[in-house]
């Protein structure tokens, strides 16, 4: 069973109504009521009879929430499994319309043409102020001599992120001189974050970095230069939209990892390194790679319907489709899919992906932002792995926001474990 906390790729099995009732300790009528309220998703059974099958993930989530209200022990056990919230945060509110960054809907920010830099500054400001214009960030120097041999042997762009962060940390006078000292101020952290994130696009294509790092270029422009050698406005807008829509998503795996490390007083390099490690997992940062593999298995658009039907018959969700938080579909995914289609023209891979989306919708399976990131990569004519790279580069803004907020709270994150005897 695969569960992507941020974008939720499932191959989750369904359970029957008797099994669901037994897991929750409820009557069938209560289960039907949960389904009618959208708390549990159900689908017609692929076998004989007229029964319905229920997503196991939805049942487990409801069970965790029920247990979390029953006392301290169940709270500790259930809170980290899509249960009750465990941290207070004023960064991002999750709504049916998608995430709100400091009160501003992410999809609205894209519609307004806000740049990634503007949105990052919004996330980092306690007052929730969106800068009126896009700021120019200084760029941290790349330790090319050390990284060039490693980068040449590392084909996946996302795998270069921890290499770059570790090299920066090793070269940092801050990292050498402040061991054991108090964490830097919030403003010092923001200054460092601007320079690091401005240079993170290096991971996309290190060989082209000298041509993509003009002092006045924005992050989306640098990515476009690294991918296509030219920063065409339509492509830059698409990349900006992808980065903005991925900038934060509340307490995802990487965000929580960042907060745990930040709570210890560790420097920003360590915070971003922890999150970069989380990105490497197929259940979070690299979820889009399963979508890319699926599209490769569909030779023509008209075969997409058969592929979708096969997943439904097996009681599985299509990779990249479905999300715990968006019962009627991920609003971020829809916006980015539309923008990608507008920018792409007539590209075969994107036609196949759109055909898969059309085939999945009647089955109640809606595309997540991972599907849309793959669509954006196709529209850009970018190589495999670009979708997960865009996700990580965009999420870097939110990671800094979580680090700042966690440090301000002054709280060390230290969950308790419930001991289970091996006997």
Element holding 105 (H helix, E strand)? strand 104-105
72 counts as catalytic: no
- Cβ neighbours, 10 Å, residue 224: 28
What number of residues does the chain have? 423
CA 85 distance to own-chain centroid: 18
Q: How far apart are CA 393 and CA 341, in angstroms?
A: 22
Rg (CA), the chain: 22
Among 10, 249, 284, 366, the one annotated catalytic: 284
Query: Quick one: which of 245, 192, 283, 237 has its CA closest to 2?
Result: 283
Classified as helix, coil or strand, 14 is: strand
370 counts as catalytic: yes
Among 10, 249, 323, 366, the one annotated catalytic: 323
- Cβ neighbours, 10 Å, residue 94: 13
Element holding 55 (H helix, E strand)? strand 52-55
Among 6, 248, 330, 370, the one annotated catalytic: 370
284 counts as catalytic: yes
Q: How far apart are CA 335 and CA 327, in angstroms?
A: 16
Catalytic residues, which ones? Answer: 284, 323, 370
């Amino acid at each position: 069973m695969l569960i992507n906390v941020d974008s939720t790729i499932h191959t989750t099995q369904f359970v029957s109504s008797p099994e669901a009732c037994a897991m929750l300790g409820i009557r069938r009528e209560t289960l039907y009521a949960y389904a009618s309220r959208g708390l549990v998703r159900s689908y017609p059974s692929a076998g004989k009879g007229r029964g319905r099958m229920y997503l196991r993930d939805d049942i487990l989530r409801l069970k965790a929430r029920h247990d979390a209200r029953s006392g301290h022990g169940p709270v500790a056990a259930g809170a980290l499994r899509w249960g009750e919230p465990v941290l207070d945060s004023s960064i991002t509110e999750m709504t049916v319309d998608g995430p709100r960054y400091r009160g501003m809907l992410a999809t609205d920010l894209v519609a307004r043409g806000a740049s990634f830099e503007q949105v990052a500054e919004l996330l980092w400001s306690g007052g929730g102020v969106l800068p009126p214009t896009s700021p120019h960030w200084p760029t941290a120097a790349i330790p090319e001599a050390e990284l060039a041999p490693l980068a040449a042997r590392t084909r996946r762009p996302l795998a270069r992120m921890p290499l770059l962060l570790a090299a920066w940390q090793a070269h940092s006078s801050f990292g050498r001189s402040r061991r054991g000292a108090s964490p830097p101020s919030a403003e010092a952290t923001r200054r460092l974050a601007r320079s690091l994130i401005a240079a993170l696009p290096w991971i996309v294509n290190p060989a082209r970095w000298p041509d993509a790092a003009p002092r006045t270029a924005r992050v989306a422009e640098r990515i476009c230069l690294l991918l296509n050698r030219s920063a065409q406005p339509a492509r830059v807008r698409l990349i900006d939209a992808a980065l903005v829509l991925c900038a934060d998503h509340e307490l995802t795996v990487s965000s929580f990892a960042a907060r745990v490390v930040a709570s210890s007083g560790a420097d920003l390099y360590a915070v971003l390194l922890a999150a970069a490690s989380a990105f490497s997992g197929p259940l979070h940062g690299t979820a889009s790679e399963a979508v890319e593999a699926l599209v490769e298995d569909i030779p023509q658009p008209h075969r997409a319907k058969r592929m979708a039907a096969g997943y439904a018959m097996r009681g599985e969700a299509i990779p990249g489709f479905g999300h715990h938080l968006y019962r009627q579909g991920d609003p971020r995914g829809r916006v980015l899919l539309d923008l990608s289609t507008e920018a792409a023209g007539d590209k075969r891979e994107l036609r196949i992906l759109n055909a898969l989306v059309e085939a999945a919708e009647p089955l109640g399976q809606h595309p997540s932002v991972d599907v849309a990131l793959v669509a954006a990569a196709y529209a850009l004519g970018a190589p495999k792995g670009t979708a997960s790279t865009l996700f990580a580069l965009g999420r870097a803004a939110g990671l800094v926001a979580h680090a700042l907020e966690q440090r301000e709270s002054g709280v060390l994150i230290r969950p308790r474990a419930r001991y289970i005897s091996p006997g």
